[in-house]
Structure 1
């Protein structure tokens, strides 16, 4: 498998330590392997995972970190063996850039759960073939194995398409896995970057959608986003009235919290899916699960399902609510994101790299 010796100079923004913030960073992308695609990045969404990785909140960052796994752009060059993409195609990369493609999970289109060393992350990962670090989409270009490059449908604007590569698929995947459709009763807990996509997607699938929030100020936004109802979780009477009502609770809350109240809302065989919190949960009385209620989690989707999601969003006009920023404002955007001062996703316009 030949590799081009023509490496590609790249520029972007990187964190060099937990407290460095993000600053301009020059580096090199590998030359094209036979199955690689070179992409000129037009936009990259900002995910809360980017902030956590840049600041080493999870204790596993390897510096320098070039964040970004909500990437869209245009194909600039292809390796000699590439068949899926052509120069000029509108394309996207999500949270992974490789997997073994041979294990039982990869064969089942679940590359995100690869059994041989896990998926290779778009950033802060290690290339499976040469051991080099992976750098993400806060940059002007990226090289990626062709199977992990997705098509951006013509109906999707590039800037709005970017957050779909993480926030979109993270909420789409559990809705599809648990067969949400017309007649389903879905509750979305939390109304942030993930939650607002959960509302839009579930509504587009034909479900009856209720937003769960302790903040009454979210009621108007919930309605604008397509929710059919709003349930204030601090209202005990209202919460009790919905006991056993929902088929699925999509829990997008990103911080440690008690999941018990949401289990009470589920019918028999109802499912609460955690997609936001990555932390230890408070103790829960296991008797709740004896009512045949399911508490589970979900990551992103596989490649086929992510392409399906992009096509679904194009067909149904499902777009995230975004605020576009120049890359020079990324540190301020992190501070605003941490303060929940964004409705609902930041997207970096890479033309600002100059």
Structure 2
């Protein structure tokens, strides 16, 4: 299938129209027209090869909402016209212990990323959601609940599941004391989801200007992390801390905020962290952990939970040809809180 998207040809080049072919349907494939695609900070890192493993051309996008246009002969879950979603992965071995228990994101052979991955059959580089069409293995397609606003669903497929998964893994229940460090794309979803689960939510930020936003999003409290007196008073206050800071930093200011046997989970920074002091961990039997996305079953659970609780990200809609400007704004943290591309805009002068 010939289609069009926006891709980076090198680490230095801007995103630009890119004509390419999607594979023909295999028996277990679903083809869709993409309606909306969220813009994740990982897209920017990949386009600019910040992590050093980008394969070019690089066509990002792993927060995808679309309409089914055709299905393979063996597909039984979806029909033409269904509204569906695809997140950060499009395949895995489906046979290892992790895949069998629904943790495909932890596949022993490595899951296949939606973009900048390697197709398990052809070994070709995968292209993501900054395009008009997508072809995906049936098991990695998700059903979008009917009552959700389609224009805002896309970021749930990464920002949503990235923060929902640790909340579930560390057993957040009504009354749990949850802190969220940072109030960007991930942080604002962590606040909404934890609040939806009935937790007592505190937002930590270096900026006092974030207080009103934090409370409006559902936080019960706001803690200014540069206020040493307030940080001292907050020691041993939390059962779980979700750290969404996307750059190298020290966790030392935050570990002492954990209660005994509690956990700080890193979901923002991908790469090196600053050295940390083990004393608060040893004395409080605390943990520093990491968490990726969730598996397909958990991602569907998250979508259904958001439908039940009417939880959606705060989004700013952009055209596809505004992606380079959006990347520039993301670097300056100038977005509240997630960009979403209206893929209908890709029809305007960009058809193959």
- The aligned runs of 1:37-76 (5 Å cut-off) are 37-76=30-69
Question: Which residue in 1 is equivalent to 2:141?
Answer: 149
1:335 paired residue among 310, 328, 332: 328
Distance in 2 between residues matched to 1:133 and 1:270, nearest whole Å = 40
Instruction: Note the alpha carbon deviations across 1:32-58, whole angstroms, 9 max, x for none.
Output: 000000010000000000000000000
1:41 aligns to what SS in structure 2? strand
Q: 1:16 maps to what in 2? A: 9
Matched, 1:231 2:223: yes
1:78 maps to 2:71: yes
1:278 pairs with 2:297? no
Q: Quote how far apart the aligned CAs of 1:155 are.
A: 1.2
The alignment partner of 1:154 has SS state of coil
| SS class of match (1:112) | helix
| Stretches of 4+ aligned residues off by more than 6 angstroms | none
Output the CA distance in 2 between the equivalents of 1:285 and 1:341.
Answer: 33
Distance 2:309 2:216 in 1: 16
Q: 1:193-224, CA deviations, whole angstroms, 9 ceiling, x for partnerless residues?
A: 00000000000000000000010010010011
The alignment covers a number of residue pairs equal to: 346
SS of the residue corresponding to residue 68 of structure 2 reads strand
1:320 match? 313
The CA distance in 2 between the partners of 1:108 and 1:190, in whole Å, is: 32
Where in structure 2 are the equivalents of 1:158-169 lying within 5 Å? 158-169=150-161
C-alpha displacement of 1:281: 1.3
For residues 271 and 129 of structure 2, the distance between their equivalents in structure 1, rounded to whole angstroms, comes to 26
Q: Which residue of 1 aligns with 2:121?
A: 129
Q: Which residue of 2 aligns with 1:4?
A: none
* Equivalent position to 1:27, from 16, 20, 24: 20
- Give CA deviations for 1:91-112 in whole Å, capped at 9, x if unaligned: 0000000000000110111100
Give 5+ residue unaligned stretches, structure 1.
Answer: 1-7
CA distance in 2, matches of 1:234, 1:297: 24
Q: Return 287-296 or 44-53, whichever deviates more.
A: 287-296
Matched, 1:345 2:338: yes
1:237-252 correspondence to structure 2 within 5 Å = 237-252=229-244
2 CA distance for matches of 1:160 and 1:283? 38
Contact 1:40 1:140 in 2 (8 A): yes
Question: What is the rounded CA distance, in whole Å, between the counterparts of 1:233 and 1:330 in structure 2?
Answer: 33
Residue 181 (structure 1) shift: 1.2
Please state how far the C-alpha of 1:279 moved relative to its aligned partner: 2.1
Question: What corresponds to 1:5 in structure 2?
Answer: none
Structure 1 residue 278 displacement after superposition: 1.2
Contact persistence 1:73–1:158 (CA under 8 A): no
Aligned-pair CA distance for 1:174: 0.1
For the aligned residue pairs, the C-alpha RMSD in angstroms reads 0.6
Shift of 1:21: 1.0
Partner Cα distance (1:284, 1:340) in 2: 26
- Partner SS state of residue 25, structure 1: strand
